[in-house]
Chains A and B, each alone.
Chain A
Amino acid sequence: MSDTHAQSVAYVRDTMLDPKPAPASQSGAIQWLRENLFSGWLNTLLTILGILAIYGFFSHFYAWFLHGVWNANSLAECRQIITTEYGDGATGACWGVIRDRWHQFIFGFYPPELYWRPILTFLLLFAAVGPVLFQWVPRKLIWFTPIYPFLAVWLLWGGSIWGPVLVALGFVLAFVVFNYVARFGTIGGFAAGAIVAILFWLFGVSPLAGVLHAIIPLGIEPVESAKFGGFLLAITLGAGGIAMSLPLGVILALGRQSDMFLIRTFSVIFIEFIRGVPLITLLFVASLLLNYFLPPGTNFDIILRVMILVTMFAAAYIAEVIRGGLAALPRGQYEAADALGLDYWKAQRLIILPQALKISIPGIVSTFIGMFKDTTLVAFVGLFDPLKGIPDFIRADFAWKGIYWEPFIFVGAIFFILNFAMSRYSMYLENRLKRDHR
């Protein structure tokens, strides 16, 4: 058959044809457009509406952005420049306010010659959180992390170095006592450590600090809390609140899962009470009521008061997130820990919490983001937050009376960058910690 073929058929192709490219409508950009933008009438309609929306947005604000003026010292000057350059009726952004007042947005009323202190604190923050957040950072740096909070307080508020050092010493003391007593029982160790530390802070720190300062006067210029403002205030509150609320949240979550009735009840009451009221009312408690609750004559720093309440607020939310993580662990994990003969604290530390915290990461990070956003509410107790306190202050100046959009955009953009970074980090961490192979 095959040998007759050559005679019966005039022509036989003995090589494969080269594959042809797909038709123009089925490949490349055109196919992509058809599939993603114009498949069906509804999709086409949506695309057209989307394009119209984008066009509407940009046609409105394009000119405003393009006419932006950076070199101006007042709103009137700004408007004059825009009118002379682009004609009557032209609108434009007046970024001059950012150039003129950026230091107030960032640092509040912190003395300008001391700006290096908050900047250094901020840079050191990365060194402190780096070993916790990223694996590629040298492990040795982790020693810096527990030192950082005290260093940061000293750098930001200034004054004698001995106060923060002695407060840190209280923790060291508590740890030593805990290590010694924990041989007889973990809970006893905790209790003894806490009692020693509290006694030391109450009665040891201030006289000792005085004595030490008299012997070795090491100190930098003190800056009072009223000078804090802008993002310096927001980040101080946010970072401080985050650092303190996580341990408190873990303890509250464990308390809520506890078998002991009273511990559970107290935890539930605390968590539900804090979660049930708006943060603003808690800030009012900080600014108006805390003086009633403390011994007569106590009057401590407003930033510290606000930070305590913000910490309690965030801790209640984090406790609920972690409780979700604890509940999501299979019972087998708890039973396995029991079967290994681990006591409660060992089981929690080695088996339960590492897994529960991993599950809770997205929730914890979104609580942190929420808390950082909520730091703007301190404007209502008279602090200078970057969103309302500082812009209101700037608008009170005649030169910048009536400037709204530029501060909104500037501050909003910084908030967006910081929060977006945090949420991306949580996604990265989720991926890194993922252990199931799906």
Chain B
Amino acid sequence: MTTAHDAPESQGFRLSQLIYDTRYRSLTIQVVVFFIVMAFVGWLVDNTIQNLSALGKDFNFSFLSQRAGYDIGNAIIPYNNDMTHGRALLVGLINTLWISFLGCVAATILGIFVGVLRLSKNWLVGRLMTVYVEVFRNIPLLLWILVAIALLTEAAPSPNAYKINPTTGEASASMLFDSIAFTNRYTAIPSIHFDRSLGSLDTALAPISLNFLAIVLVLIASIWVNKRVLASAAKIQEATGVRPTTWWKSALILIVPMLALLIALGFNPDEPVLQGFNFKNGTNVSNSFVPLWLGLTLYTAAFIAEIVRAGILAISKGQTEAAYALGLRPNRTMNLVILPQALRVIIPPLISQYLNLTKNSSLAIAVGYLELRGTLGGITLNQTGRELEAISLMMLIYLAISLSISGAMNVYNNRVKLKER
């Protein structure tokens, strides 16, 4: 009964198959789109070349090795105006990364705090946090940065106000915790001082403080040893069923070497002290940095709070109940059952908030803090008149930062992803 049909006669390839045959059609479409896109790009490039030649400009990056000639107030690595535009770019990039890092840390702490409080059973606090989140999410970030800078420059006292008036014996302004002073020109905060400093290692890029290096090394070493202790405890537990107490060992390993190092280096915070008309000893953080940091932190924290809240709410109540049924205490339930699942929900949007914060740091334009946009896309651009090079380079650097952060996110996501069939 079953007869194999003869294969349809091969008719050879006809041109109409390019459109009507689904096997070839997608190829046709792709080729056509490719040519359209290439033609469009070619048109743009051609226009650019024509425009550049009309203006007598060329496209090269040699301006990066020319003398910059402008000062950067908040340089973290050594910089002066005799250095090149390339160096200024680097200073700006480091400033971008620095403010983004500090912003992310502060926003995460504040965001978790607000997100958890918004879920609290306390009616008043829950409402207050809702108001905070809604107000900050629905009003542009620029407003918060402008408010912060207006607060500092208009409402904060001058450094003079911290002087003790000889007749009344009181100053008209007082420092926060006796160590932080907001003034209308800068914010004075304590700096870290080492009595017996190890000095610093000079590299081409920037001097690296040996004190800092030593602290990091000791920290890494003690964390590693602590991990080993915990691993061996787990081994004993697997073998015998009894877990040896390790908390005192951990505490010893983590705290004692660090304390010893800090004492050996003669670590002490240097409180700002008013001398003459200005604060000395401490670090004076410029009033372009603080408002930007404050604005970014408060704004992003509102978003992070919502992410944290959603993450915790996403874990069904059954999970908590199951953990209680197994006899886990609330504390362990949180650590072993809720958090690992909630983090899976929380981390991806959290990272994208970090990305947003990094990109939003370009709003430094509103406060005059010189980060990447301020140096490369601001003063360097205006001085050299190379818009095309400066802006494309700036976009590429931002793109590289974003792609590396989202790359890291993907690696993490793959690690915590539910392993499905």
Cβ of B30 < 8 Å from any Cβ of A? yes
Given A263-B29, A276-B403, A277-B395, A289-B142 contact (CB < 8 Å): no
A293 touches B30 (CB 8 A): no
Q: Mark B76-108, 1 if CB is under 8 A from A, else 0.
A: 000000000000000000000000000000000
Question: Which residues of the partner chain B approach A262 to less than 8 Å between Cβ atoms?
Answer: 30, 33-34
Cβ of B259 < 8 Å from any Cβ of A? no
Given A272-B403, A380-B365, A51-B124 contact (CB < 8 Å): yes
Question: Which residues of the partner chain B approach A62 to less than 8 Å between Cβ atoms?
Answer: none
Cβ of B242 < 8 Å from any Cβ of A? no
Which listed segment binds A: B42-50, B233-241, B247-255, B412-420? B42-50
Question: Which residues of the partner chain B approach A294 to less than 8 Å between Cβ atoms?
Answer: 47
B366 touches A388 (CB 8 A): yes
Q: Mark A256-292, 1 if CB is under 8 A from B, else 0.
A: 0001111100100000110111111100110011011
Question: Which residue of A43, A54, A387 contacts B143 across the interface (Cβ within 8 Å)?
Answer: A387
B138 touches A43 (CB 8 A): no
Question: Which residues of the partner chain A approach B71 to less than 8 Å between Cβ atoms?
Answer: none
Given A281-B362, A284-B377, A415-B140, A276-B125 contact (CB < 8 Å): no
A277 touches B399 (CB 8 A): yes
Cβ of A56 < 8 Å from any Cβ of B? no
Question: Which residues of the partner chain B approach A354 to less than 8 Å between Cβ atoms?
Answer: none
Which residues in window 23-81 of A have CB below 8 A to B? 35-37, 39, 43, 46-47, 49-51, 53-54
Question: Which residues of the partner chain A approach B135 to less than 8 Å between Cβ atoms?
Answer: 416
Question: Which residue of A261, A284, A419 contacts B391 across the interface (Cβ within 8 Å)?
Answer: A284
Cβ of A360 < 8 Å from any Cβ of B? no
Cβ of A369 < 8 Å from any Cβ of B? yes
- Interchain nearest-CB distance for B42 vs A (Å): 12
Which listed segment binds B: A106-114, A117-125, A370-378? A370-378
Q: Mark B392-421, 1 if CB is under 8 A from A, else 0.
A: 001100110011000000000000000000
- Interchain nearest-CB distance for A252 vs B (Å): 13
A266 touches B120 (CB 8 A): no
Question: Which residue of A35, A50, A275, A281 contacts B125 across the interface (Cβ within 8 Å)?
Answer: A50
Give the number of chain B interface residues (Cβ < 8 Å): 52
For the complex, what is the distance from the CA of A296 to the CA of B49, rounded to whole Å? 10
For the complex, what is the distance from the CA of A53 to the CA of B124, rounded to whole Å? 11
B150 touches A278 (CB 8 A): no
Question: Which residue of B47, B124, B125 contacts A293 across the interface (Cβ within 8 Å)?
Answer: B47
- Interchain nearest-CB distance for A311 vs B (Å): 17
- Interchain nearest-CB distance for A148 vs B (Å): 26
A280 touches B138 (CB 8 A): no
B120 touches A415 (CB 8 A): no
For the complex, what is the distance from the CA of A420 to the CA of B135, rounded to whole Å? 9
A291 touches B143 (CB 8 A): no
- Interchain nearest-CB distance for A269 vs B (Å): 10
Which residue, B33, B48, B122, B137, has most C-beta atoms of chain A within 10 A? B122
B128 touches A416 (CB 8 A): no
Question: Which residue of A266, A277, A293 contacts B402 across the interface (Cβ within 8 Å)?
Answer: A277
Cβ of B121 < 8 Å from any Cβ of A? yes
For the complex, what is the distance from the CA of A28 to the CA of B399, rounded to whole Å? 58
Which residue, B138, B360, B391, has most C-beta atoms of chain A within 10 A? B138
For the complex, what is the distance from the CA of A379 to the CA of B145, rounded to whole Å? 14
Which listed segment binds B: A219-227, A345-353, A403-411? A403-411
Question: Which residues of the partner chain A approach B30 to less than 8 Å between Cβ atoms?
Answer: 260-263
Cβ of B123 < 8 Å from any Cβ of A? yes
Q: Mark B52-88, 1 if CB is under 8 A from A, else 0.
A: 1010000000000000000000000000000000000
Closest to B403 in A: A276
B122 touches A37 (CB 8 A): yes
For the complex, what is the distance from the CA of A339 to the CA of B48, rounded to whole Å? 50
Given A296-B50, A404-B150, A37-B142 contact (CB < 8 Å): no
Question: Which residues of the partner chain A approach B138 to less than 8 Å between Cβ atoms?
Answer: 369, 373, 415-416, 419-420, 423
For the complex, what is the distance from the CA of A379 to the CA of B138, rounded to whole Å? 19
What are 7 of the A-B contact pairs (CB < 8 Å)?
Answer: A43-B120, A276-B402, A277-B359, A292-B48, A373-B141, A387-B143, A419-B138
The 7 A-B pairs with the shortest beta carbon distances in the complex, nearest first, are A276-B402, A36-B123, A419-B138, A373-B140, A276-B399, A278-B359, A278-B362
